[in-house]
Amino acid sequence: MKKTLMLACVAMSLTGAAQEKPVITSRAGFTLPPPPVVEKKPVTDTYKVTGSADVSYTDNYRYLEDAKAPATRAFIDAQNVYTQQYLDKLTMLPRVRESMAALLKVDQMNMPTERNGVYFFSRRKADENQGSIYMRKGLHGADVKLIDGPSRSADGNTSVNFMGVTEDGSLLTYGVRVGGADESEVHFFDLATRKDVGEVLSSARYYGVSIAKDKKGVYYSRFTPHVGCKVYFHAFGTPMTADKLLLGGEYKGEKLGEIDGIGVRVTENGHWLVFNINRGVPAKREDILLKDLTKPDAPIVPLVYGIDARFGLDVVGDEFFIDTDWKAPNHRVLKAEVGVAPDAWKTILPEGKDVIESVSFVGGRMFVLRLKDVMGDLRVYTLDGKETGHIAFPGVGSGSGMAGRFKSDDGFYAFQSLITPPTYFHYDVKSGKSEVFYTQPSPFQSGQYELKEVFFTSKDGTRVPMFIAGKKGLKRDGTERLLMTGYGGFALAMRPDWNPEYAWWMEQGGWFALPDLRGGNEYGEVWHKAAMFEHKQNVFDDWFAAAEYLIANKYTSAEHFAIRGRSNGGLLMGAAMTQRPDLFAAIWCGYPLLDMLRYQYFLLGRTWTTEYGSSENPDQFAYIAKYSPYQNIKQGAKYPAIMFFTGDGDTRVDPMNARKMTPAMQEASRGGRPILLHYSIKGGHSAGVSMSQLVEDYADEMAFLWTETK
């Protein structure tokens, strides 16, 4: 009797608390019941802080970190039911799915890889859920399917991805991935028999897979959580348990741990095995080691080791070319020699005012892609650094570097933009002529839209670029909807690439904006470092300044302003909702980092401490705690409409971030706006879910953002 009375009192208390909040109302005019009641189980942590007293935080939803616990699964189910209640009321959703399918379900192809006049690539037909791997003899030959993707699973959520092919074009490597997970099985396909050879590397996160020149085995780097990468040689016909360890655990007495990613590859001529050791993500230091494969007992020797800078290696014959930011934040190209100190290496291309994004060696030439205010500039050089040509891209947009091999005259590059689907060009190095190899079809009418680049001023006076796109003649009176996305981290430049979601938004009559926030590589390592560690707030300040520019120039207003971001961009969304909820009407927060005091304990989180720092470090705790979204939720604040999106298939950013943030925001908000968790059971950080599933997920996202900015 007493137990029944206690439960009744608790229920009355919860009901009363829910009634104190504003009625949850969509901009579409319908109301929702209160979110599911989520139990609190407080856990308090105490942190050391340099120069200050210890600081304690209480986490009410720590138990939701355990993805397999019955309480967590019940929470996910309840949240998905609640989100579905919202989606069921969106009368526009069927139309959104139809138009999103028209944009997504088109023929798609990846950049080809050439071997002796034969081209290998992945391609997905318009009516297929997954792509397949093809070959084509000659530039204009017929496509021949080698490995079928759609038949791999009944639900269409198993994909195949092309990983490489031997120099003689006889043996192909491909991965098999389930859902959106990062892990893949590795398979090998014989081009002569058109069959798998029966060798499989079990499902894992691989940082490099490269077949030996004699094709008797394969070198691979395999990541193990909480351990790190180890490089092995697998002899075909033997069990993986017998694979020979080549590198891992330590080198030269220095530990190789969890944050040290090791890439491995065999050079084009088969002479060298190259190990790239990336100390963290992004790498604070890159080491390059070499093993001479012509000498069975040759040791692994360093080409460059122990320097806090980034070094990318291209091997041309037996010559070593290095693209580095060492003493050159905008990068330069050096010619390296084994056993010679980097200070004595010859400079091939000195650092310039525009950052070098990529360097490649194709057809006896060196191709260098620079970024000029984020847009690509591709130039051709001799191996001693003399410029011999320039490849012009067709307008404002995103041009790529050159892909190909040094001993082949076949090169490929791409161009796309926010209003132009990708086109791949074949480039004949001998003649210098380009021709279209493939253009992705689309119902999007590019000629009806315009794209421009503008510049705005951030809080501290920094000049920041931004791309803005929309229909020609679209009004600028503050009444139109606008969608903005961003990233700002990991030295990744945000190029104005094609995206069907953004195309859909513009088709409906909305503006789209992409600011290039500090933290990326748009202006080199200086731009990146300006938003790392204790400077992370610069990313958020750039973001808010971009929003204020768009509002001041009447592209939109706060009530019509939608934002979206994923991964590190999900952290940006978390900062936006907790620091400046007044600026935005609707937020989609995908696969996000949100609990920055604990992110390092989960999945790949430890590797990102070279970007963010760690709350375990007393010198770094204070600045992380100051912006960490989960710890900065304000009770009673008026938050905008929010959809968190994640899923069990995300094996990179732990879904615990969104699981914990959702109930905390639902409980705190007094804005009367929907706060939802869209939790996918199969979706994940990487590509791989079926096209049908992707259409649904994209449509749910866009319908939510469009509706809540009405």
- Name the active-site residue from 184, 358, 557, 567: 567
- CA-CA distance, 348 to 281, in Å (whole number)? 28
Check the CA dihedral 590-594-595-600 and report its sign.
positive
DSSP state of 142: -
Which of 645, 707, 643 lies closest to 681 in space, CA to CA? 645
Give percent helix, percent strand, percent coil of the chain, each to the nearest 5: 25, 35, 40
The secondary element (H helix, E strand) that includes residue 465 is strand 463-471
- CA-CA distance, 597 to 588, in Å (whole number)? 22
- Name the active-site residue from 59, 287, 685, 700: 685
DSSP state of 527: H
Query: In Å, how far from its chain's centre is CA 314?
Result: 24
390 catalytic? Reply is no
- CA-CA distance, 664 to 681, in Å (whole number)? 22
Which of 513, 653, 514 lies closest to 571 in space, CA to CA? 653
- CA-CA distance, 162 to 186, in Å (whole number)? 10
Overall size of the chain counted in residues: 710
Other beta carbons within 10 Å of 576: 25
- CA-CA distance, 459 to 87, in Å (whole number)? 38
- For residue 139 the two structure tokens come to 């530039």
Cα distance from N-terminal residue to C-terminal residue, the chain: 51
- Name the active-site residue from 410, 595, 650, 700: 650
- CA-CA distance, 48 to 442, in Å (whole number)? 55
Query: In Å, how far from its chain's centre is CA 662?
Result: 23
- CA-CA distance, 203 to 183, in Å (whole number)? 6
The secondary element (H helix, E strand) that includes residue 245 is strand 244-251
210 catalytic? Reply is no
331 catalytic? Reply is no
The residues annotated as belonging to the active site are 567, 650, 685
